[in-house]
């Protein structure tokens, strides 16, 4: 079916009629990798309406690149329809050692004004969605699922993209529900129900040369259930000098979250080498819920680039059990301020 999908796309993309639509009707279809490439002739967004279920090829040798469905070089596309993309990842997870040679289910590269809504993505071999080198991306009403032990099945990874809005979606995977990578600016992510998985993350940052700054990212009105981490910023211990600034985590509910608030600037390093990613103006506001850990805040910032302007306001966490415990904090190389009512330890 892969070739049939691409032939249908070429017919739709070449039409200037308003609107141009590719319809995948109800039913089940199996497909190898697919490329939907522009530019297209229509002045209005091209609609890809998936009503059925599309099954991925389980044979990893069928994937020459890092995607299953690729949308590329398009200005205006809407992916919707209520259907399901089934990555059939169980056949691949046992071979995944963390490398990037496994296919993302749906990748958007160099797409302006892309919209994804009312779809299901299940059991991706790697990331469910990857949006990169794009602008003005919107996603909502998504349901993204994979087993809690499935490796690298991030719900959505976003990198090198300006203007992002992701909202009102349920994500339960084996890795980050949403991860914001290098080069993301002006992102607003809200109404996400996350868990199980690794929580929501900024990063990892500082791994590769030519990375760009992260600026203006807000997560709000999100609920995390039984996740490994809550809200996390992670950077590699490397000489790469970029900035991560103006980041807000606000109105977050955490239920049984193991590590609620984390900044880890030694990510991927056993020797605690220094990261040169500068983290500043990070705001934690109205965060509430429960944790089994007595260390709800870990700020492991870098001596080479200390964290500045880390604000805590109305952060109220309780222990999962009724046993009496005392919270402690683990904070290094971080300048913090506390306001409002906080039921967490204050970093000195």
Strand 214-225 with 53-56, pairing = unpaired
User: If pLDDT is split at 50, 70 and 90, which confidence band does 97 have?
Assistant: confident
Joined together, the tokens standing for residue 264 give 């880890």
pLDDT of residue 327: 85
Joined together, the tokens standing for residue 344 give 């967490």
pLDDT of residue 220: 98
pLDDT tops 70 at residue 324: no
Query: Tell me: the pLDDT tens digits for 116-136?
Result: 999 999 999 999 999 999 999
- Measured distance CA(199)–CA(208) in Å, rounded: 23
- Measured distance CA(281)–CA(307) in Å, rounded: 8
Query: Tell me: the pLDDT tens digits for 190-207?
Result: 999 999 999 999 999 999
CATH class of 176-348: mainly beta
- Measured distance CA(129)–CA(280) in Å, rounded: 28
pLDDT of residue 99: 61
Give the mean model confidence (pLDDT) for residues 70-82.
97
pLDDT of residue 181: 98
Q: Average model confidence (pLDDT) for the chain?
A: 94
pLDDT tops 70 at residue 328: yes
User: If pLDDT is split at 50, 70 and 90, which confidence band does 105 have?
Assistant: very high
Positions annotated as catalytic residues are 198
Q: Comparing 1-163 with 176-348, is the CATH topology the same?
A: yes
pLDDT tops 70 at residue 89: yes
CA dihedral 180, 182, 188, 194 (to 10 degrees): 0
pLDDT of residue 98: 65
pLDDT tops 70 at residue 276: yes
Q: Give the domain ranges of the chain.
A: 1-163, 176-348
State how far the alpha carbon of 27 is from the alpha carbons of 30, 54, 55, 80, in Å.
10, 8, 11, 16
Tell which CATH classification among 3.10.580.10, 3.40.50.1980, 2.160.20.10, 1.10.3720.10 matches the domain 1-163: 2.160.20.10
pLDDT tops 90 at residue 270: no
pLDDT of residue 320: 83
Q: Determine the Cα angle at 330 with ends 329 and 331, to 5°.
A: 110
Q: Give yes or no for a contact between 27 and 54, defined as CB atoms under 8 angstroms apart.
A: no
User: If pLDDT is split at 50, 70 and 90, which confidence band does 225 have?
Assistant: very high
User: If pLDDT is split at 50, 70 and 90, which confidence band does 14 have?
Assistant: confident
pLDDT of residue 10: 92
Q: Say how many Å lie between the first and final Cα of the chain, rounded.
A: 60
Q: Which residues of 95-111 are buried (b: 16+ CB within 10 A; e: fewer)?
A: ebeeeeebbbbbbbbbb
- pTM score: 0.96
User: If pLDDT is split at 50, 70 and 90, which confidence band does 271 have?
Assistant: low
- Measured distance CA(215)–CA(217) in Å, rounded: 6
Helices (H), 202-336: none
Q: Give yes or no for a contact between 91 and 127, defined as CB atoms under 8 angstroms apart.
A: no
User: If pLDDT is split at 50, 70 and 90, which confidence band does 22 have?
Assistant: very high
């Amino acid at each position: 079916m892969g070739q049939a999908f691409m032939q249908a796309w070429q017919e739709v993309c070449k039409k200037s009629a308003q609107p141009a639509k590719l319809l995948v009707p109800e039913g089940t279809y199996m497909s190898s990798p697919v490329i939907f490439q522009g530019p297209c002739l229509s002045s209005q967004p091209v609609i890809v309406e998936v009503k059925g279920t599309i099954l991925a090829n389980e044979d990893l040798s069928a994937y020459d690149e890092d995607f299953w469905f690729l949308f590329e070089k398009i200005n205006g596309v809407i992916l919707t329809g209520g259907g399901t993309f089934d990555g059939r990842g169980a056949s691949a997870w046992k071979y995944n050692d963390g490398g990037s040679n496994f296919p993302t289910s749906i990748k958007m590269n160099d797409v302006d004004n892309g919209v994804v809504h009312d779809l299901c993505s299940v059991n991706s071999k790697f990331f469910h969605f990857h949006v990169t080198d794009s602008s003005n991306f919107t996603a909502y009403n998504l349901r993204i699922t994979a087993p809690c032990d499935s490796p690298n099945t991030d719900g959505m990874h976003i990198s090198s993209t300006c203007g992002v809005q992701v909202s009102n979606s349920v994500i339960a995977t084996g890795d980050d529900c949403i991860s914001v990578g290098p080069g993301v600016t002006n992102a607003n992510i809200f109404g996400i129900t996350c868990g199980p998985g690794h929580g929501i993350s900024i990063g990892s940052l500082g791994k590769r040369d030519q990375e760009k700054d992260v600026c203006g990212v807000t997560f709000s009105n999100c609920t995390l259930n039984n996740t490994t981490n809550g809200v996390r910023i992670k950077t590699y211990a490397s000489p790469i000098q970029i900035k991560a600034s103006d980041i807000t985590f606000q109105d977050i509910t955490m239920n049984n979250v193991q590590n609620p608030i984390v900044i880890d600037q030694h990510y991927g390093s056993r020797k605690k080498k220094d990261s040169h990613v500068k983290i500043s103006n990070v705001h934690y506001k109205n965060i509430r819920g429960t944790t089994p850990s007595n260390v709800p805040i870990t700020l492991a910032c870098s001596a080479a680039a200390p964290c500045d302007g880390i604000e805590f306001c109305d952060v109220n966490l309780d222990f999962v059990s009724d046993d009496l415990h005392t919270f402690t904090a683990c904070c290094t190389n971080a300048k913090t301020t506390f306001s409002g009512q906080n039921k967490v330890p204050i970093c000195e």
